[in-house]
A and B are shown apart, each in its own frame.
Chain A
Amino acid sequence: MPILIELFLTFAKIGLFTFGGGYAMLSIIENICVERKNWITHDEMMNITVIAESTPGPIAINCATYVGYKKAKLPGAILATLGVTIPSFVIIFVISVFLEGFLEITWIANAFKGIKIAVGILILDAAIRMIRKMQKKALQTGILLASFALIMLINVLKLHLSSIVVMLAAALVSVAFFLAEKARRKEGKA
């Protein structure tokens, strides 16, 4: 099979059969691309994870682009990325046409009232998992608490301020601390 078609089909299969997105996909991508197809090595997979954590966007897209580019340059990157996206695009597009009609059916609306409550718990759980894994230095803990307080305030007071502003501020504070630390070290040496 030509590599371009194989890339597309393999990533379409990954896109079609992995639920939950993100980190759930990583282990399946590793299984297929490292162990079965030998497209990339274990070290490269580790490297992708690091790059994915330092760049924005869906992790599955990062992986598909990386593997596709490595195997067949730009055309490979495009086809692998399309492959991982197209299945869910088609499924959600079909759902989007029918969902609002479905929600008018009483028993489905009732089920979704329960589901809505589960979603809040899932988001809280995602945050708790991330807190467990993060480095707990003073600066990081401070930024976490400050952003939590700010976003709660924005929500409660219904302010029109995007979380992006808070994120940019946090990045700037951290870079400022990094520069201050660097300057202090230089002084120490001199």
Chain B
Amino acid sequence: MIFLDLLIGFLEVGLFSFGGAYAAIPLIRDVVLAHGWLDDEMLSYMIAVSESTPGPIMVNLATYVGSNKGGLAGALIATTVVMLPAFLFILFVMAFSKSLVKNPYLQAALRGLKPCVIGVILATGVYMIIGNCYVMTKSSVDFTAVLITCFLALIYFGSRKVIKKGLSPIGLICIAALVGLSVYGI
């Protein structure tokens, strides 16, 4: 049943997303790919939409997938369960023990969890970039995509040498949209 799948899927995301929005992306990707709810392409679109609209990215993605698969009820379920663990953990810490997070075993587990999360995010980013540039079904390299990837990476990372904070994610998304329009539109 779709509602139960959404509930379990996004509860998992809410329970294991240590380290902010980008830590949740690989977990959400696992869930949506496993159920066939979205493919990598649609997921990328939604990540871009979530970056460009206000609010927590995790909440935005949960709302979108929930609504897409189960209408308003699906959106409400996915959004509620994705934030429920965070809400309950903070309540627990506030109400019972503020020193709970200092527990040495918890901290030891987190010391292992954090580098692992970084490895997972890195692998997801690298795999998505490869997936953009290499068409698996045809076993051929998409040279247009390779060129756009190099161009955007150059602008994004290069902008930090020119302006202090560099280009913002939304700025990069806007430039990428213009590039897409002009390259694929002609």
Contacts and interface: CB of A to CB of B under 8 A. Distances in A.
A43 B113 CA distance: 26
A152 B124 CA distance: 8
A8 interface: no
Interface in A52-109: 53-62, 65-66, 69-70, 74, 77, 81, 84-85, 87-89, 91-93, 95-97, 99, 103, 106-107
Interface size for chain A: under 10, 10 to 19, 20 to 34, or 35 or more residues? 35 or more
Contacts, number: 372
B184 A110 contact: yes
A165 to B, nearest CB: 10
A56 B120 contact: no
Contact of A114 (B83, B109, B148): B148
A54 B105 CA distance: 12
A181 B91 CA distance: 33
A56 B89 contact: yes
Interface string B138-161: 000000010011001100110000
Contacts of B27: 162-164
B54 A16 contact: yes
A118 B176 contact: yes
B129 A116 contact: no
B87 A115 contact: no
A190 interface: no
27 contacts: A20-B170, A21-B50, A22-B21, A51-B101, A53-B18, A54-B110, A55-B85, A56-B18, A57-B86, A61-B59, A77-B87, A81-B87, A85-B59, A89-B55, A89-B63, A92-B53, A111-B181, A115-B173, A123-B125, A125-B125, A130-B117, A140-B115, A147-B115, A147-B116, A152-B127, A163-B27, A175-B105
